[in-house]
Structure 1
Amino acid sequence: MKLNPVALKEWASVIDVLAEGDQILVMRKGGIEEETRRFELKSRSFYLFPTYEHQRTHLVKDPYRSIVERSLSEYDAGAERVKLTAYAEAVDDLEVRDHEQLELLYPYHMWTGNLAEERLRWKAKEPLHVLLLRVYKLEEPALIKALPEYGGCRSWIELPSLPDDAGLSPVLSEDSFEEQRRRIKSILGQ
């Protein structure tokens, strides 16, 4: 698979949960610094770029709090390199517009209901994008220089040229992924 040198910024703990196959979705509204002020799926495939700034243990369900704690304990704000460990394909970009739909997704993600609801309410006229991701672990993590332009509250960043032949291993079998995907799409009526 040819890898795109673009990355979606996401909590490091969420990337860990995705990379273990414990969830296949992320929810996006877009960052404050987005060019269009809303989320757009700029690429169907991308690296997952770890962020730490907004992670808090009280924003995730109890079983996931230790993952957030570990992630925060490993964070080094002065690090010169960022380690990329996962790559993803956005198989679906579903739009959620109301509280009832959001509640149906509760069993399929690590966030508390309060955080999910807050994401839905922010920029209330815009839908909450639920990306269903087919996630792959990189056989060898990619180390890239931590650049100032990677900061800020936005979803997408352009990466330096990376090897486009990195070895990837899917975190879920095709059947397991498709079963979760079907369930999520079904409960949303899609």
Structure 2
Amino acid sequence: MNISSLKEWDTQTQLLTQGRLSLLIRKGGIMETHDGFEVEHRSFLLYPTFLHQNAAELQPHCQPLLRNDPQPGTIHLPALAEVVAVHKIELLETALRLEPLQALTAAAIERRFHYRNRPWVHALLLRVRPLTPPLALPETPEMLGCVSWVPLGEITVTAGKPVVSEQELSARQAHLEALIQQ
């Protein structure tokens, strides 16, 4: 199937793949269009990136997962993510209430919120299913750069069971929506 991948910090990709998180707060990459990040795909592979990963922007309990790229030049795609819900958050107070549900610090959320003087972020709730086996691809020049989405073309993947049960994911979604509506 023709599939794309979403570049995300390796630490956050690990947390999603372990089921410790189901939420990402996104703004977009440096090279995104003037409109910034958009949820272009409802299903995609997680593409762990080590570029720009910043310990100071991760909550302390997430920092032990920081690591250097174990195999530069090769992308290890660990999981398939499916968008369960996406919310465009246009109030900073709302975005900051989401801090406990994801890996970024409040300061990092605020920085992303105000990035390029466009006050908003996206909150993506994801169902994550590990690839069996994980996919390793050589990193090509087309994959480089500060963009969110990387098209991978025609590839075949097999995904296992979700790392979070549907009951737990529903509870996480309800908690997310309650925080957004406060």
Q: What is the TM-score normalised by the length of structure 1?
A: 0.89
Contact persistence 2:27–2:122 (CA under 8 A) = yes
Deviation at 1:37, TM superposition (A): 4.0
| From 15, 18, 23, the counterpart of 2:16 | 18
Choose 45-54 or 90-99, whichever is displaced more.
Answer: 90-99
Alignment match of 2:79 (pick from 74, 78, 86): 86
5+ residue gaps, structure 1: none
Task: Give matches, 1:1-150, under 5 Å.
Answer: 4-68=2-66, 71-72=67-68, 74-77=69-72, 79=73, 81-150=74-143
Per-residue Cα deviation, 1:6-44 (whole angstroms, up to 9, x for no partner): 111101110000011111111111212123441111110
**Structure 1 residue matching 2:117: 3-state secondary structure:** coil
Deviates more, 1:117-126 or 1:41-50: 117-126
State the match for 1:182 in structure 2: 174
- Measured in 1, the distance between the counterparts of 2:177 and 2:2 equals 26
- RMSD after superposition: 1.7
Displacement, 1:189? Answer: 1.3
User: Which SS does the other structure have where 1:91 is aligned?
Assistant: strand
Once the two structures are TM-superposed, the CA of residue 144 in structure 1 deviates from its matched residue by 1.3
* Structure 1 residue aligned with 2:159: 167
Contact 2:96 2:106 in 1 (8 A): yes
CA contact (8 A) 1:106 1:113 kept: yes
Between the aligned partners of 1:87 and 1:4, the Cα distance in structure 2 is 13
1:161, CA displacement in angstroms? 2.0
Is the Cα contact below 8 Å between 1:6 and 1:46 reproduced in 2? yes
Count of residues paired in the alignment: 182
Shift of 1:169: 2.0
Q: Distance in 1 between matches of 2:70 and 2:107?
A: 25
* Partner SS state of residue 116, structure 1: helix
Poorly superposed stretches of 4+, deviation over 6 Å: none
The verdict on how the C-alpha distance between 1:96 and 1:6 changes in structure 2, with shifts beyond 3 A counting, is same
